[in-house]
Amino acid sequence: MTYFNTDEVDSALVNLSRNDRNCELIELPERSVEGVTCHALRLGSRPTGTRDCVLLIGGVHAREWGSCEILICFAADLLLAYRTGSGLAYGGRRFTADQVRGLLDNLEIIVFPLVNPDGRRYSQNTEAMWRKNRNPAYGNGKGDCVGVDLNRNYDFLFDAATAFSPTSGVRVSTDPCDPQLYQGPQPFSEPETRNVRWLLDAYPRTRWFVDVHSYSEDMLYVWGDDEDQSTDPSMNFGNHAFDGLRGDAGDARYREYIPASDLAQATGLARDFAAAVHGVRGTDYTAKSAFDLYPTCGSSDDYAFARHLTDPARGKVLAYTIEWGTEFQPQWDEMENIIKDISAGLLQFCVSARSMVGTRTAATTAA
């Protein structure tokens, strides 16, 4: 086995759905810019919508090839273990058959492994370090003047020039010819990010969201725009009184509010993930806020968590970004090890999330 091309990613999803009654193929409503039909999988033994949901996405940045393989192998392993009544082992980290059974009986798990098929195809065939999608509409349609960074295209502090301090160094660009970080003309301008939004809307019991990226060996939790704090609710992304102040590290003029209970749950799940990864072969992943990597806006995790704050009718979603490995395209023998690392981390994440179902549901109802 080696890295999948885009057709092989889709074939894997179709085959898994055909061969297991606990797996359903989901056709996303929008094709990619170049016309590719995108698919996700729903894993679970109970009817759709009757259990709290974990949404896992990957393949957002074109050059991060292994994210697709991680999510496909994770889904395949979980389905096989459930079907055969067995546990799962990744190196030194083991999960019992009861834990596996508990996941598919008590959760829905949605796996969307290839958000950006056009970019992946271009990266694998033309320019290995390509990051964006392949939309030619906003620049001159040539070279770097093609594409949008999909992980800057979500509706969260999209107007960075207004929201952030001029000294923040926020990682985003309004230049259509920026080779890495062009955010697009407006939030959700791209069909690929609209597909992710659709999944969040179509599965309203989504309570956990993980976006799988590389690299830096981190498990990131919200927020990405500034340091977290749980004492001053007025310091929040919706309060324009703080425009121009966000994004400076160590600056008490602004820090992003997160309720203490949410922060405790968010950090606890991130630490559980990291501990499980360590158990495979001793690799240390760091649980930290996304801002501690660098300041961002328009990212998937901040958008997913912010949804319930902008619209209280939406459920609360604890949201994360995994940064696996130490390079974008490791040699395949190392990628196989990383797949085991992250599969163990995701399984433990889901096991820990399942234990929170009662308290999360109660908290959401109370909100």
What is the reported pTM? 0.96
Give the count of beta carbons closer than 10 Å to the beta carbon of residue 310: 12
Structure confidence at residue 197 (pLDDT): 98
Q: Rounded to whole angstroms, how far apart are CA atoms 101 and 354?
A: 11
Paired tokens of 181: 């970080």
Angle between helices 357-366 and 332-355 (to 10 degrees): 60
State the pLDDT at residue 136.
98
Specify the pLDDT at position 345.
98
Residues 6 or more apart whose CB falls under 8 angstroms from that of 248 comprise 165, 167, 168, 226, 254
Fold assignment, 6-366: Aminopeptidase (3.40.630)
Percent of the chain residues topping a pLDDT of 70: 97
Q: What is the pLDDT of residue 1?
A: 78
What's the pLDDT score for residue 34?
Answer: 98
- Residues of the chain below pLDDT 50: 359-367
